[in-house]
Amino acid sequence: MELFAKSKNRLYLRLVDLSHELARRGTMSLSEIHRFLTRGNLVVEGLVSKWLDLNSGEFLSFLVEVPNGEYKMAVEGVLPVLPSIAEYTWLRRLVAHRLAPVFLDEGLIEKLTQMLGAPGGDERFLEVRGEGWFDHDLAHLRSVLRVLLQASQGGQMIRYSSRSQGGQVFADKEAHVLRLEYSLESDLFYVVLYPTDLKRPVKVMVHLISEIELSGEDDAEDWELVLRELRAPEPLVLEVRDVKGTLERAFLLLSCFERQALYDRDRDIHVIRLFYYRFDEALLLSRIYSLGEYVLIRSPRDFREKFIARLGSDPPNCGK
């Protein structure tokens, strides 16, 4: 789940609608604002009810009260992004997750835990699975991931030693870091590397990396050419309808890919642009297939045609 994303926060979208309505009407009563925001949605109504307490100072900071008791838009008002119950729940559970110390300092975890407070009663409607089962060495995992992240963000290479699940040792390898992944199914971290001696991508389990360090930038003149060849020539564009949890599943299944997302309000669809490597194609075909009929493959054309060929027919989510 992506937290605090404006395009997926329905309360934020309703606040945008409210700002337009106030711009048209000028003022509204507090009860009218409440009805406008809730519209019979019990979960949202529960959220809005506690934030409509003006004495708390947590809600309607973008409004000002006028003498007749109604409200209008503040001259320099800024729309707040108000977290939903689901976002609070996920953030609490992420902070409390056993792998949180891999990425966050203990002091920050304690501070976030205090700020988030105790779970509310509405969280009984939400069930978050995936606590994991693998017995991680958190200190080792943190040290390895820190180097991988530094290399990935800084465009540097790494020198590492690792072993396969079968026990084969790969010592003193030099490689580029292409992508980090986490599998909820196996509860394992993976890294996609491009070793300079193999000259092809390989997927390595992070916990099987025994030694790792930064090794500087690649001075080879052909690396940028290799990278361009590895990348798909154009992004994969998907149109997703938020029906039966399809949007959340799409973001979950595609979380390891660099992407852009926007919400088309006129058509009530979410448009996701995925930037991927050529070797990801088979994986993407499989994951998009599992999302079902509420996802439309808009482009590229050759990817859509491969998807159709895999199905052996032309179902609605393949496009024309």
- Residue 210 to residues 36, 137, 162, 171, 268: CA-CA distances in angstroms? 57, 12, 5, 9, 48
What's the confidence (pLDDT) of residue 8? Answer: 58
**Confidence category of residue 75, pLDDT binned at 50, 70, 90:** low
Main-chain dihedrals φ then ψ at residue 202, nearest 5 degrees: -135, 150
What's the mean pLDDT when you consider all of the chain?
Answer: 79
The residue ranking higher by pLDDT, 273 or 100, is: 273
The domain limits of the chain are 6-73, 85-125, 159-229, 231-318
Residue 181: φ, ψ to 5°: -135, 155
Q: What's the whole-model pTM score? A: 0.64
Written out in words, the top-level CATH class of the domain with range 231-318 is: alpha beta
| 8-64 tens-digit pLDDT | 566 677 778 888 888 888 898 877 887 787 665 545 545 555 555 545 455 566 778
Assigned fold of 6-73: Arc Repressor Mutant, subunit A (1.10.10)
Q: Evaluate if residue 221 carries a pLDDT over 80.
A: no
